[in-house]
Every structure is written in structure tokens, then in C-alpha cells.
Structure 1
Amino acid sequence: MASGGYGDPSAKIDYVFKMVLIGDSAVGKSQILARYARNEFSLDSKSTIGVEFQTRTLVIDHKSVKAQIWDTAGQERYRAVTSAYYRGAVGAMLVYDITRRQTFEHIPRWLEELRAHADENIVIILIGNKSDLEDQRDVPTEDAKEFAEKEGLFFLETSALNATNVESAFSTVLTEIFNIVNKKRLAGAEEEQGNGNLSSLAAGKEINVVPGPAQEIPTNSSMCCKS
């Protein structure tokens, strides 16, 4: 599994994985990112304008992995950035607010957009954020779990406020990407960058990893649950 903290900028990087955060405005995407990348949380956070990203370096199986995590505004008027935003992403977090049913009901639309623009083998986790507001819950855990299982997504409920499951959510996605990349590298399936397939940066050069039919990203039922 993944381990390590906020990284030594001078350390050798074995892989760079781009992840994207998507979902409606004000579901807590920027707060999740701030908690993971800087271990920060701000109650007076303002809406994201356009696109921004943070990085964090961690160790998976003795390899140094830099997560490059992109956050975008959830408002409709910023969706023109779509294709550039998704390009090269190998992981995605679909985020909704457990206290606002509408944000969950919009998840299928976000998922459709993601699948239309991103690599077909992208690793996706569904995130129900604000689990600290249990008394205001408007989305039952079982509803989200059922949707995640149907769509083949990982699923966790998180709280950026008290840091519940934020590490686990990123670790789940990054470790799954890492395992896919290494499985294909061991099989000798390196290709040059540019074919639009699941890709990463390894030892200073870009490689493509193309999971074959027998190595589709599995629906990990053990992760599709509240923890």
C-alpha cells in the first residue's frame, strides 16, 4: 500500500500520476485536495475559479510516486476546460455532498463526461464528502454503494473537515494505478506516449500502459463500502 508524507522535493521520482477531482460546486473538492496535499482545512474556503492543482509525493512498494491532483470549478461556465483538464488523467474522484441529494443525482452526468473525455481505463472512486454532518445526511450510504458497484467504481465516504478517509481515498486510487502500471511493465507492454492510453512518467520518460482484455480494472467490492 501507499505510505509516506508530503515528500522531499529533491527525491528521485519514479512515477507521476495525474488525478482529477470532479463534481458539483461546493461539495468540498478543494477542501479534500487541501487536506490531502497540505493537511489543511479552511472553513471560509472560496469557490475555485478555473483550474488549479497540487502535488504530493508518496511511496508505493518502495517506489516514489508523485500525485498531480487537478481541481476545477463545478460551475457550468467553466466546463469549456474539459478536454485539457482530463487529458493524461489516470485517476479520478467523483465527489458529492452527502447532505445535498442533488449533488449525488448529478454524479451520473459527471461520470458520463469523464468517460467521454478520459482514458477508458482510468481508475475512478466515488466520494461522499462531509460525513461529519451525519445529522444532515440526505444521501444514504447504501444508495451510493449500489451506484458504485453498478458502475464498477471504488467508493468511500470522507470528511475533509476531520480528515476521515481522505488518505484512504487517494491511496486506493494511486495504488490501483500503480498496480496496473507495474503489471503491464512486467509484461513488457511499454509503448511511446501519444496513443491516449493509461499513462505515467517513469524514470524521466513517458510510457503508456494498455491493460488488455484479461486485465480490466476490477470492481473491488471490498472497497465499495463505508469504512
Structure 2
Amino acid sequence: MNREDGDDSFDYLFKVVLIGDMGVGKTCVVQRFRNGTFVDRQGTTIGVDFTMKSLIVDGKRVKLQIWDTGGQERFRTITQSYYRSANGIVLCYDITCKQSYESLERWIDDVSKFAAPNVVKVVVGTKADLESERIVQVEDGEQLQRRHGMLTFIETSAKENTNVDKTFYRLAETLKRQHDAGMSIESQIEGIRLNSGSTPVGGLWQKYESCCRY
């Protein structure tokens, strides 16, 4: 297991899991994001690999725990155990391999069974530099993203460093703002509990007073 970004200070910490078939380039994407390098002949991930990377989002330090999973069938049950505590899921397929795209339906089914309902999902088409070998069209990725209500669809190239940082930054930004929104609602609910005798302010106060009355 690899671990980078040794600075332990952070404002937010989120767990992100990369899934998809073997050979789609998940590890290349992670390595490009982590240290800006690309290895053409990358070894197969056995089980799960782990690293960390921090980003600055809205002036805050957001640390991502990135779990790069092996896509082999024998590791599928191991991978499922990582879904439960995941904040974000990156579903990867190779634009030159139709089977890897079609397999995403199976991976998505696993996510729906084992991950939290509010997990943020991103679809990533890898190896965008191999345009001449493309089999899966951009429209296919867009349709998959819309069909399953995912955050976004984006094509990347770890080799040419295209959209890799953008993918993780968009995910980190969304996770931070989702967390902030959840904390804001929890604070409002707590305020209502502590001030149950106060005059309601607007519809939101009235709403929570009603549901928490008993």
C-alpha cells in the first residue's frame, strides 16, 4: 500500500473509491493525480491500493483518501466492503473497450447495494488519448451519467494529463459543499431543540418544529 501527502493537517477528510474492470487505467489515473507521473506499463493492482492527496477548495484543505481497487472478479467481495464508508465513488471504463463500459452496470449495482444513498458518483472514461481506437462514444458516457443520476461524466488521459486533476477537484468540491450543507441543517435542527419555546423564523423552522415535536 502506498501513502503520500504526509501532512496530517486538514479541514475535511473524504474517502474516495475507484472501481471498474481490470486494465481500464485506474492506477494510472491515481498516480497522475498523486505525483504527476505516468507509467506506460503499469502492474495490476492486487486487492486494494491506498494513497492520500490534499486539495485547496474554497480556501480549505480537503484531504482525499483514495482507494484504488483491483478489478478482478476474485477481489469483488473485498471491494464491496470499501463502499460502506465511501463518500465518493469514481467509476472508470476504457473508451477503447466496450466490455469495460458495459460492466459498469454491474459495478453500479454493487454501489447501490453497499454504499450510502448519498454517496457522490462520477463516471470517468479513461485513455482519451487513444481517440483513433475509440469504441465507446462520448454520448454513451453522458447517457450513463444521466441515467443513474451521477454528479458528472468526464473523459481523462493519464498519459497526456487531461482532466485528471479536474475530476478529483470537482469531486472534492462537491463533497465539501455536501458536508457543509449537512452540517448547516444539523445546526438548525440542534438550534430548534435548544430553543423549542422560541418563535419560529420562516418555513424551515416551522418544518423542523413539526417533525421533531414528539
The alignment's TM-score, normalised by the length of structure 1, stands at 0.78
**Counterpart-to-counterpart distance in 2, 1:166 and 1:96:** 14
Aligned to 2:139: 142
* Offset of residue 103 of structure 1: 0.4
Match of 2:48 in 1: 51
Structure with greater helix percent: 2
Please name the residue that 2:95 is paired with.
98
- Please point out which of 117, 120, 123 is paired with 2:114: 117
Higher strand residue share: 1
Provide the C-alpha distance between the structure 1 equivalents of 2:77 and 2:177, rounded to a whole number of angstroms. 32
Please state if 1:66 is matched with 2:63.
yes
Corresponding residue for 1:184?
Answer: 182
Asked whether the equivalents of residues 7 and 58 of structure 1 are also in contact (C-alpha less than 8 Å), the reply is no
2:30 match: 33
Deviations 1:23-69 (A, max 9, x none): 00000000101111111110121100111111001111121111000
After TM superposition, the runs of 4+ consecutive aligned structure 1 residues lying more than 6 A away are none
Report Cα offsets for 1:125-146 as digits up to 9, x if no partner: 0000000000000001111111
Aligned to 1:13: 10
Residue 168 of structure 1, aligned match among 145, 166, 173: 166
Across the aligned residues of Structure 1 and Structure 2, the Cα RMSD in angstroms comes to 1.8
Offset of 1:94 from its aligned partner?
0.4
- Per the alignment, in what secondary structure is the counterpart of residue 188 of structure 1? helix
- Report how many aligned residue pairs link the two structures: 185
Contact 2:55 2:169 in 1 (8 A): no
TM-score, normalisation: structure 2: 0.82
Contact 2:20/2:107, CA 8 A, preserved across alignment: yes
Q: Which residue of 1 aligns with 2:82?
A: 85
Separation in structure 1 between the aligned mates of residue 73 and residue 187 of structure 2, nearest angstrom: 39
State which structure, 1 or 2, has the greater radius of gyration over its C-alpha atoms: 2
